[in-house]
Amino acid sequence: MNHRVADLNRPVSPLLHDYKPSAAKKPARARTLQWFAFGLGIPLVGVALVIGLGTNDPQPPPVTEPVMMAADAEPAPAELVEIEPASDAGFAPAALPAPLYERLTLKVGRGDTMEKLFRKNELDIGELMAIAQLDEAKQQFRRIKPGDVFEVEHDEGSIVSLYSELDLTSALKITKDENGFSAAVVERPIEIRKRFAYGVIESSLFESAAQAGLSDKTIMNVAGIFAWDVDFVLDIRSGDNYYVQWEEIWQDGEFVTDGEIVVAEFNNNGRQHRAVRFVDEDGRTDYFTPTGESVRKAFLRSPVDFRVSSSFNPNRLHPVLKTRRPHRGVDYAAPHGTPIKASGDGKVIFRGVKGGYGNTVILQHGGNITTLYAHMSRFASKARVGTRVRQGQTIGYVGKTGLVSGVHLHYEYRVNGVHRNPRTVPLPEAAPIADKYRDRFLAEAGPILEELERFKQTRLASITFSAQ
């Protein structure tokens, strides 16, 4: 019998959980000591009675504690008390019982299948076939990839249980009972914590953000949010500053990974850019200005985040041919193999070798706009002629194929077939937040921006106090 416990398609959200462990039974040793103490107490009580009978001093009446016997009696509120651990000098704890079953970890490598892993570890192949008939298991076994891990309990090769984490919030759990195997997708509780950071740029965003405590992942997310307004290679100025609030994902009291950015502010050369996260009813995340305008443009300024090695120039001297030839695009000096991103949503209309361009991809966008990406080392597998790609999707990798003198990406932007400078051409705006979401967005953005302002004021007050 199969049971699905969690919906894998729901958006990740903070989960609140009350942990109520059941009362543990006293171990046998404790019960033995209690009976021993009770037996020892009988003669002591007898001695006390004899002494008491032999004296004329009146004895105070015994003090009794009230005992709550009713089943619905309210227990006293629990208190957390820190207790010093008792000394274990002269005490040898009993050895822990050996586990009932053998445990092993199956880690998927390149070219592995579940059958290969089972045979390699001498596990029952017949039971694997039975497990693979379960709907949840069948789906996951088909999608295994290098790096996936399966925790297995077995009894001389016979499977008792199998467990594999699917993502941050769910796991596949397979168990065996007298009726056979059953599978369930179970929830993995997580905790979302929020953090703020502030930084001032002296040389680069990455150096500054790392000093401020941001991970590489969060730094890339900041750059991605503001990529349409700020060229983080050419536009950065010393003294630019930023504020970021992002989520951290914790599980079982341990940090797992950074989550999404909640709000960000980037002050570049006297201009303030702000972005607030919004998640729609389908779980899609996007970022908008405080008034609901999209921070995205229809196109990225740059398909790679690296410096410009050759600008748009109608009168450039060709580095190989040594003749005057117009340079109708922009070259980016990126390392070999760097992923190349589609600058906008579009359709692949060309993929292949194109003369001196070498390995080339051309995308068709709306509004009679095409973009060209040349000198690739190789193509992305999903970027085939006729397929549609999303902005930011990898379509190929930087190389030096064609008529070139070194590794780089050549990028062109054309409107109605006419070359335009990709770095200066006005880019079409992305659509603002949908009307049906506007009120909810404004209601959610207000408290988020207020929290950002409080953080800024607190930081300013701290600086002022330190200076006094």
Residue 70 confidence (pLDDT): 38
Residue 5 pLDDT greater than 70, yes or no = no
User: Please, which residues have CB within 8 angstroms of residue 261's CB and are 6 or more apart in sequence?
Assistant: 218, 221, 222, 225, 244, 245, 246, 247, 275, 277, 287
Residue 88: its pLDDT value, please? 47
- Between 23-27, 193-197, 399-403, 453-457, the lowest mean confidence (pLDDT) is in 23-27
Q: Does the predicted model carry a pTM greater than 0.75?
A: no
pLDDT tens-digit readout, 394-407: 999 999 999 888 99
pLDDT at 367: 73
Model confidence at 342, in pLDDT bands (50, 70, 90)?
A: very high
Q: Are 295 and 288 in contact (CB under 8 A)?
A: yes
DSSP letters, 169-193, are SEEEEEEEETTEEEEEEEE---EEE
pLDDT tens by residue, 31-52: 443 433 444 344 434 433 333 4
- Give mean pLDDT, residues 236-245: 92
Q: What pLDDT sits at residue 69?
A: 37
Q: Which CATH number fits domain 190-297+430-468: 2.60.40.10, 3.10.450.350, 3.40.50.150, 3.10.580.10?
A: 3.10.450.350
Give the model confidence (pLDDT) of 181-229 as tens digits: 999 999 989 999 999 999 999 888 888 888 888 998 999 899 889 888 8
Beta bridge partners of 323: none
Residue 235: other Cβ atoms inside 10 A: 14
36 or 389: which leads in pLDDT: 389
CA distance 2 to 178: 15
> Does residue 370 carry a pLDDT above 90?
yes
DSSP letter at 29?
Answer: H
Give the bridge partners for 165, in sequence order: 171
Tell me what the mean pLDDT of segment 325-353 comes to.
92
Intervals of CATH 2.70.70.10 along the chain: 308-420
Confidence at residue 86, expressed as pLDDT on a 0 to 100 scale: 45
User: What is the band of 293 on the pLDDT scale with cuts at 50, 70, 90?
Assistant: very high
Q: What would the mean pLDDT of 274-278 be, rounded to a whole number?
A: 97
Q: What is the pLDDT of residue 320?
A: 56
- Around 75, how many Cα atoms within 13 Å sit in the side-chain half-sphere? 3
What is the percentage of the chain residues whose pLDDT exceeds 70? 75
Please choose, from the candidates 197, 209, 290, the residue with its C-alpha nearest in 3D space to the C-alpha of residue 245. 197
Q: Can you tell me the distance from the alpha carbon of 109 to that of 101, in angstroms, rounded to the nearest whole number?
A: 25
What is the predicted pLDDT for the residue at 41?
A: 45
Structure token pair of residue 318:
């060709």
Q: What is the mean pLDDT of residues 314-337?
A: 75
Higher local confidence (pLDDT), 20 or 153: 153
For residue 231, pLDDT beyond 80:
no
For the chain, give every residue range classified as CATH 3.10.450.350.
102-187, 190-297+430-468
Asked if residue 456 lies in contact with residue 243, where contact means CB atoms within 8 angstroms, the answer is: yes
Tens digits of residue pLDDT in 70-127: 344 444 443 333 434 444 444 455 555 656 789 999 999 998 999 999 999 999 999 9
Report the pLDDT value the prediction gives residue 99, as an integer from 0 to 100. 63
In this structure, of 43-52, 146-155, 325-334, the range with the lowest mean pLDDT score is 43-52
Higher-confidence position of 316 and 191: 191
pLDDT for the residue numbered 343: 92
Q: Are the beta carbons of 352 and 359 closer than 8 angstroms?
A: yes
pLDDT of residue 202: 87
Q: Is the pLDDT of residue 314 over 80?
A: no
Do strands 180-187 and 3-4 pair parallel, antiparallel, or not at all (unpaired)? parallel
Residue 132 has pLDDT above 70, yes or no: yes
Residue 389 has a CB neighbour count (10 Å cut-off) of 21
Of 285, 278, 381, 297, nearest in space to 339 by CA: 381
pLDDT at 163 over 70: yes
Handedness of CA 206, 208, 211, 217 (dihedral sign): negative
Residue tagged 């017949």 (tokens): 126
Unique residue bearing structure tokens 């999903």? 382
**∠15-105-259 over CA atoms, to 5°?**
30
Q: Which residue bears the tokens 């702000």?
A: 274
For residue 274, the tally of other CB atoms under 10 A from its CB is 21
Long-range contact list for 19-24, CB < 8 A, 24+ apart? none
**Which pLDDT score is estimated for 192?**
94
In this prediction, residue 449 carries a pLDDT of 96
- CATH top class, domain 308-420: mainly beta
What pLDDT band is residue 428 in, cutting at 50, 70 and 90? Answer: confident
Which residue, among 236, 424, 416, has the nearest Cα to 313 in the 3D structure?
A: 424
3-state secondary structure string, 61-127?
CCCCCCCCCCCCCCCCCCCCCCCCCCCCCCCCCCCCCCCCCEEEEEECCCCCCHHHHHHHCCCCHHH
Max avg pLDDT among 40-54, 273-287, 452-466? 273-287
**What percent of the chain clears pLDDT 90, i.e. is strictly above it?**
49
Residue 315 phi/psi, 5-degree rounding, is -120, 30
SS3 160: strand
* Structure-block tokens of residue 31: 């019960």
The chain-wide mean pLDDT, for the chain, equals: 79
Q: What is the dotted CATH code of the domain comprising 102-187? A: 3.10.450.350
Q: E strands, 178-270, where?
A: 180-187, 191-200, 241-251, 254-268
pLDDT for residue 463 is more than 70: no
Kindly report the number of other CB atoms within 10 A of residue 363's CB atom: 23
What's the pLDDT score for residue 8?
Answer: 33
Residue 466 CB neighbours (<10 A): 7
**End-to-end CA, the chain:** 70
Residue range 373-396: mean pLDDT, rounded: 94
